[in-house]
Amino acid sequence: MEQITLGTLALPPDMRWSDEHSWLPVGASAKVTLTGAKIVQIGNLQAGRPITLEGGLDFAWISYAEVEALRTMASDPETYRNLVFPDGRTFTVRFRVEDTAVEAEPVEHRVSANTTTRNKLQYIPTIRLETVNA
C-alpha cells in the first residue's frame, strides 16, 4: 500500500481527509445596504482549500519522531510542500498555523527518558493544511 507524502515525510495511507467534501471553490460575501438591498459578491477561489488529515483510535497512528518532524515542518510556515495521496492526487499546501497546524494525542500514555523508546511511541495525529497557488 502506498503512503501519503508531505514533502519528504511519509504518512500512513489510511489517514482520513475529514473536510474533503465540505468545501467548494466559491467565495461569497454579502452586505445589506442602507436602503435594505442585499448585495452579494461571488467569485471562484483559486486556493485556500482546507485539508485536515486525521488518524483515529484504531488507524493511521504515527510515531513520536514523526510528530516532531511535522512540528518542525510547521515551524517553517512560509515553505510550501507537495502533498501526494496514494491515488496520485497532488496539492501544494502550507500548514494552517493559525488553526493549530499539528496536534497529536498519545495512543497510550507512556513516559520514557530513553530517546529510542520515546521515538517509537504511537500518536493519533491531526494535521491541518491549506492549498496554495505556488
What global pTM score does this model have? 0.85
pLDDT of 98-133, one tens digit each?
999 999 999 987 777 777 777 778 999 999 999 998
H helices of 3-120, in order, are: 64-74, 115-120
Cα–chain-centroid distance for residue 88? 17
Confidence of residue 30 (pLDDT cuts 50, 70, 90): very high
Whole-number pLDDT of residue 78: 86
pLDDT of 47-88, one tens digit each?
999 999 999 999 999 999 999 999 999 999 889 999 999 999
Domain total of the chain = 1
Domain containing 48: what range? 4-131
